[in-house]
Amino acid sequence: MVADSSRSDSPRTRDAPARTPSAPRTVAELVQAQWGDHRTALKHQQTVLTHHQVAGAAAARAALLGELLPPGAEPHIAVLLDNVPEFPLWLGAAALAGAAVAGINPTRRGPELARDITHTDCALLITERAHLPLLAGLDLPLPPERVLTVDDPAYQELLAPYEGARPDDVTGSVLRTGPGPRRTPDPTTRMLLYFTSGSTGAPKAALCSQGRLAAAGRSLVGHFGVRTSDVHYLCMPMFHGNAVIAGWAPALAGGAAVALRRRFSASAFLPDVRHYGATYFTYVGRAVQYLLATPPAPDDRDHALRSGFGTEAGAVDAARFAARFGVRLVEGYGSSEGGAALQRTPDTPPGALGRPAPGDDLAVVDPETGDELPRARLDPAGRLLNGDEAIGELVNRGRSAFEGYWRNPEATAARTRGGSPGGAGAGWYWTGDLFFRDPAGFFHFAGRADDRLRVDSENLAAAMIENILARYAPAVGVAVYAVPDPVAGDQVMATLALADGTAFDPDDFAAFLAAQPDLGTKMAPRFVRTVAALPVTATNKVHRVALRRAGFRCPDPVWWRPIAPAARRPAARRAPTAPAPSAEYRRFADDDRAALLAQYRDHGREHLLDR
């Protein structure tokens, strides 16, 4: 399907400033605004659609949805697709109709996948042939006729009667109160139910309204200066909030185009960017590290990209990316649930994520007491001197945009516990993320709440150690996490993904650590695992749970720094001059593993290795 882009009779065919970002309050209004706009809106392989065509296609699907949705059913649509054109078309359809989309993760399997569809009360499932095997034999909560396969001819037959639908004719097609007329979607109308990845338990479906999604899009239009000539490259999975909230929404709000990649590919990234003329992309997790691991080429800067926006790249890799590709990466912070956000300003120092938006009341607090913690003290080298007292959980003590989790009041209450009754929900919004705040008021990310390490009675944050180890040139990816100490607390373990053909040199790594001025005395990893690539989740985030559970019992090579017997005494009885672990690394052998496991058994801590 290729759009006719040769029309010039409309004043909106030429490049223009981004749509006024302050007018539309809902996603439905943004989709309606596409009608009559004949500039390019969507690109995927050989498919090119205009904004007008996208709005028409969304209207047709909204009309079909109005016919297929059973009376009294929740207006929820499960979308089990890769990044193909049908995904944004159904997002637009849901917005017009007043329905909500639940993005289904295709890496989930069996009962877990069925549970996600059942939990979100989806009355319709949109999928493609490639994913049909995932559904075989599952006990789904909907009949076969409400499972639509977008690349099946029967799907086009279903859509055919609605192809002439206009956005205004179908708006609110599923929003009826009894036999009366349908109502128009408003800012509170549910738009997304997207699953948050957790380390334990079933994923939670966070709610996002049309108003919040439209506001996020408008905000990013202003922040990045989105133009109607821009092309947003969506290579992160659209079942995750990053691609929809940070990629699709600002393109829709600013009148820009989106270009879709079915699944992220580091080797295809630059060819795609050049082919589509992409100017902006989003990323999460290790995507930036994968791009940096591709072989450098003389034409690495031959593209139109201006910026990338995402999380977890880190200051070191962001600088490497800018130096190699000439693209500025903007590390942002905003909880998936919308409860807290930081804004980057021109004076934000390296390593910091910014300050709160005007009117927000963000603080770093003790997760046990809720007391605000002291500001960080940094030495001239940037080393955090008081991490034990300055690192805590980031909370929003004011009114947040968090809208809760679908059918999970316990999880919703846990996010909004305590604090002042004047805030959203029952109290403050707790992010689950560790931060510290510097003397100038800038917030610095220090890891997830479950990534805290306690070594010799000192609290450490995994993210801070990762930022230091990321400077180690042979490593293209780094993950730091806790393994339990045989006696008390934790020990630091790091997994290094090494560049192709690179062997781990323990002496070189020890020398690197010794040369880092901001590496605290407790931060050096006791265990180092080397891999070809870090294990990741479907959203390219490091699979820390898998790393933590494997620990030093993994099949990959592990090096370690043995600890002298005198240093094994509990911290309370240790002399100030007690010997530290050896600075040298040696291969962790089978007899080392056996002896260490015996220590865990002797102290009754062997069960902690499986946490």
Q: Given this model, what pLDDT does residue 19 score? A: 54
Whether 384 and 526 map to the same domain: the answer is: no
Q: Is-contact 53 3, C-beta < 8 A?
A: yes
User: pLDDT class for 351, splitting at 50, 70, 90?
Assistant: confident
Whether 447 and 482 map to the same domain: the answer is: no
Whether 115 and 32 map to the same domain: the answer is: yes
- Does residue 283 sit within a domain? no
Domain boundary residue among 209, 227, 245?
A: 227
- Does residue 595 sit within a domain? yes
Whether 402 and 513 map to the same domain: the answer is: no
Which run of H or of E encompasses 443?
strand 443-448
Whether 388 and 514 map to the same domain: the answer is: no
Whether 182 and 114 map to the same domain: the answer is: yes
Q: What is the pLDDT of residues 515-555, one digit of tens each?
A: 988 787 788 999 999 999 999 887 778 888 889 889 999 99
Residue 317: pLDDT over 60:
yes
Domain boundary residue among 451, 486, 508?
A: 451
Positive or negative torsion for Cα 515, 521, 522, 527 = positive
Mean pLDDT of 485-506: 90
Whether 422 and 502 map to the same domain: the answer is: no
Q: What is the pLDDT of residues 7-45, one digit of tens each?
A: 333 334 445 545 544 579 999 999 999 999 999 999 999
- Helices 51-68, 86-97: axis angle to 10 degrees equals 60
Q: What is the pLDDT of residues 471-489, one digit of tens each?
A: 999 999 999 999 988 877 7
Domain boundary residue among 227, 243, 263?
A: 227
Whether 518 and 443 map to the same domain: the answer is: no
Whether 121 and 87 map to the same domain: the answer is: yes
pTM for the complete prediction?
0.79
Name beta bridge partners: 558: 529
Residue 108: pLDDT over 90:
no
Residue 185: pLDDT over 50:
yes
Q: Given this model, what pLDDT does residue 391 score? A: 87
Residue 165: pLDDT over 50:
yes
Whether 41 and 182 map to the same domain: the answer is: yes
- Does residue 156 sit within a domain? yes
Mean pLDDT of 334-351: 87
- Does residue 536 sit within a domain? yes
Q: How many CB atoms lie within 10 A of CB 262?
A: 15
Percent of the chain exceeding pLDDT 70 equals 89
Percent of the chain exceeding pLDDT 90 equals 64
Chain mean pLDDT for the chain: 87
Q: Given this model, what pLDDT does residue 563 score? A: 66
Q: Given this model, what pLDDT does residue 54 score? A: 98
Q: Residue 230: which of 38, 22, 17 has the closest Cα? A: 17
**How far from the centroid of its chain's Cα atoms is residue 611's Cα?**
24
Structure tokens at 254: 């600013």
User: pLDDT class for 385, splitting at 50, 70, 90?
Assistant: confident
Q: Pick 15 or 396 by higher pLDDT.
A: 396
Residue 455: pLDDT over 90:
no
Whether 223 and 112 map to the same domain: the answer is: yes
Query: Quick one: the chain helix, strand, coil %, rounded to 5?
Result: 30, 20, 45
CATH number, residue 426: 2.30.38.10
**Interatomic CA distance for residues 284 and 268, integer angstroms:** 17
Positive or negative torsion for Cα 17, 23, 27, 31 = negative
Q: Given this model, what pLDDT does residue 25 score? A: 96
Strand order across the beta sheet in which 124-127 lies: 147-149, 124-127, 76-80, 100-103, 190-196, 204-209
Q: Given this model, what pLDDT does residue 459 score? A: 67
Residue 493: pLDDT over 90:
yes
User: pLDDT class for 570, splitting at 50, 70, 90?
Assistant: very low
- Does residue 384 sit within a domain? yes
CATH number, residue 59: 3.40.50.980
564 is in which domain, residue-wise?
A: 472-610
- Does residue 21 sit within a domain? no
Q: What is the pLDDT of residues 189-237, one digit of tens each?
A: 999 999 986 544 578 999 999 999 999 999 999 999 999 999 999 999 9
Whether 402 and 509 map to the same domain: the answer is: no
Q: Given this model, what pLDDT does residue 582 score? A: 61
Q: Given this model, what pLDDT does residue 457 score? A: 59
- Does residue 323 sit within a domain? no
CATH number, residue 478: 3.30.300.30
**What is the domain count for the chain?**
3
- Does residue 216 sit within a domain? yes
User: pLDDT class for 169, splitting at 50, 70, 90?
Assistant: very high
**Interatomic CA distance for residues 1 and 581, integer angstroms:** 64
Q: Given this model, what pLDDT does residue 544 score? A: 85
